[in-house]
DNA sequence: ATTATTTTGTGATATGCATCACATTGTATA
DNA sequence: TATACAATGTGATGCATATCACAAAATAAT
């Protein structure tokens, strides 16, 4: 299915920089797909020739570590997915999976490259994005390895609230196993710490429904443990 | 001091894509500097308007974690430094320090941006570089958090041999404290594990001189622990 | 509705490694 | 050459958290 990209209401900042001409090129060279929660978007180990545009929905980027699957980051729409894997390597180096219902557009790599070549502003924004990601990954790495579990879990919850859902009440889009893979812990520890936070009145846990009751405390835990 | 970039013998793949015109622009808009081991190249928290080209030498990228300084990665010449920090943020988000004598060129951000705008091939290469870095950081993060210390140390030693020095004999450019910050351990553990590897005949340690004696074993340790 | 399967809660135990404490060696500095 | 300071070696101890082993809910499948 193809739609007119010019009128797409889900443009990223980068995409809004594109010329009409490039948008038309996109329109006639992309495949739009509706996905259900759990559907695979990019699969580690498979051949890759597409950049993916996440139009709506929420996805996880995950990678097979030496022992367990690790969730590298959560991404919400609108956003481009798979640039590193598609540009940097013929074979996908990580997986992306929808954790909510989602809409995606598959864009041929050559078309995307062409659009990069023809749109300086677009390229600038994409590079900005790369820079932001690299900085984030530096910070994430330093935090994850130095902080204790409580701190990392607090971080993750704050991230969901502030970056993903923009609300202090949300339902966790991950199982505890997945949450553990995101925070680098065991499933059991996730369960325990969540219960602790609840007992301490920092958050209210009801199944996967999370309500942040005391954000200051949560930030403190994030900083100190 | 300014030199002619056209004849610079230390071009990256990206730089070799530049037009004569852009090289001239670079020539007249960069500051070349000779640095000594330990000299700071980029300092976290300071204002940043320059991209740095590492012409010769070896540098560490490091970042202040919540508790200790963490070395994110080692970079050897020729390579551009500080792109994420300079493009993505006005204030440097990480530090870069020479760990050997080095030569660097400071390039004004606007000049660099201009050169990006004018050279598609150059831009492609830079984007490739970003992609490679992001993939690397995914892998590094998954490995570091899942592997035991012996595995991570084996990894680091293999990295030095294969990527940095291209030789199975080299002198470690880091103190044990720094090595610990690179591998996410304590200084004591570095000392102990190095001694273990030596005792097991996997490597020979003599001060900071490292000789890999049994690379297969080292790879095995890297994989299993 | 009933069964099967996945997800979650919670105690007990084991362990890898940080931390502490100090000895020893190496390396700048006066 | 002596002295100060940084880098390293090595044991003893403690702690955070993984792992194991179940029970209990919750969801999905029949």
Determine contact: B148 vs chain A, CB below 8 A.
no
Interface test with A, best of B13, B79, B145 (most A CBs within 10 A): B145
CA A83 to chain B, closest CA, distance in angstroms equals: 7
Residues A44-90: pLDDT tens digits? 999 998 999 999 999 999 999 999 999 999 999 999 999 999 988 88
Tell me the count of A-B CB pairs closer than 8 A. Answer: 141
Q: Which helix (H) or strand (E) holds B149?
A: helix B149-159
Residue B217: band (very low, low, confident or very high) from pLDDT cuts 50, 70, 90 = very high
Q: How far apart are CA A222 and CA A205, in angstroms?
A: 18
A185 CB closer than 7 A to any strand D atom = yes
Q: Within 174-203 of chain B, which residues have Cβ less than 7 Å from strand D?
A: 175-177, 187-188, 191-192, 194-195
Q: How far apart are CA B151 and CA B167, in angstroms?
A: 20
pTM of the model: 0.94
The token pair that represents A25 in the structure block: 């090129």
Residues of chain A with pLDDT under 70: 1-2
List bases, strand D, within 7 Å of protein CB: 6-12, 16-21, 26-27
Q: Which residues of B touch A136 (CB under 8 A)?
A: none
- Give the pLDDT confidence score for residue A2 in this predicted structure: 61
pLDDT surpassing 70 at residue B1: no
Q: How far apart are CA B199 and CA B192, in angstroms?
A: 10
Q: Which residues of B116-130 are buried (b: 16+ CB within 10 A; e: fewer)?
A: beebbebbbbbbebb
How far: A195 CA to C9 C1' (Å)? 9
CA angle A68, A69, A74 (to 5 degrees): 145
- Give the pLDDT confidence score for residue A224 in this predicted structure: 81
CA angle A100, A10, A51 (to 5 degrees): 75
For B66, the closest of A113, A124, A146 (CB atoms) is: A146
Residues B23-59: pLDDT tens digits? 999 999 899 999 999 999 999 999 998 999 999 999 9
Give B89 or A188, the one with higher predicted confidence: A188
pLDDT surpassing 60 at residue B117: yes
CB A76 within 8 A of CB A187: no
CB contact under 8 Å between B130 and A135, yes or no, is no
Q: How far apart are CA B84 and CA B109, in angstroms?
A: 12
For A132, the closest of B88, B126, B131 (CB atoms) is: B88
CA A106 to chain B, closest CA, distance in angstroms equals: 19
Q: How far apart are CA A136 and CA A75, in angstroms?
A: 13
Tell me the percentage of chain B whose pLDDT exceeds 90: 93
Gap between the terminal Cα atoms of chain A = 49
Interface test with B, best of A134, A152, A189 (most B CBs within 10 A): A134
Q: How far apart are CA B95 and CA B83, in angstroms?
A: 12
Instruction: Give the 3-state secondary structure of residue A89.
Output: coil
Look-up of token digits 């790495």? A141
Q: How far apart are CA B13 and CA B125, in angstroms?
A: 7
DSSP one-letter code for B7: G
- Give the pLDDT confidence score for residue A1 in this predicted structure: 53
Determine contact: A2 vs chain B, CB below 8 A.
no
Give chain A's mean pLDDT.
95
- Give the pLDDT confidence score for residue A160 in this predicted structure: 98
Residues A30-44: pLDDT tens digits? 999 999 999 999 999
DSSP one-letter code for A27: H
Q: Which residues of A touch B143 (CB under 8 A)?
A: 65-66
**In terms of Cα–Cα distance, which of B80, B216, B198, B61 is closest to B140?**
B61
CB contact under 8 Å between A134 and B87, yes or no, is no
């Amino acid at each position: 299915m193809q739609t007119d990209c010019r009128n797409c209401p889900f443009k990223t900042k980068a995409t809004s920089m594109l010329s009409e001409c490039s948008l038309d090129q996109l329109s006639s060279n992309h495949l739009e797909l509706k996905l259900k929660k759990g559907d695979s978007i990019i699969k580690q180990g498979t051949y890759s020739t597409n950049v993916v545009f996440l139009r709506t929905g929420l996805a996880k980027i995950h990678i097979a570590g030496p022992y367990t699957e690790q969730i590298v980051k959560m991404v919400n729409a609108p956003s481009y997915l798979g640039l590193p894997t598609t540009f940097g390597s013929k074979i996908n180096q990580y997986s992306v999976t929808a954790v909510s219902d989602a809409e995606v557009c598959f864009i041929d790599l050559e078309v995307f490259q062409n659009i990069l070549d023809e749109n300086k502003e677009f390229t600038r924004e994409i590079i900005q994005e790369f820079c932001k990601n690299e900085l984030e990954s530096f910070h994430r790495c330093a935090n994850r390895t130095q902080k204790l579990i409580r701190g990392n879990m607090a971080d993750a919850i704050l991230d969901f609230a502030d970056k993903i859902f923009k609300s202090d009440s949300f339902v966790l889009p991950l199982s505890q196993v997945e949450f553990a893979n995101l925070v680098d812990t065991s499933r059991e520890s996730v369960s325990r710490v969540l219960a602790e936070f609840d007992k301490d009145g920092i958050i209210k846990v009801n199944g996967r429904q999370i309500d942040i009751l005391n954000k200051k405390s949560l930030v403190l835990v994030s900083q100190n443990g």
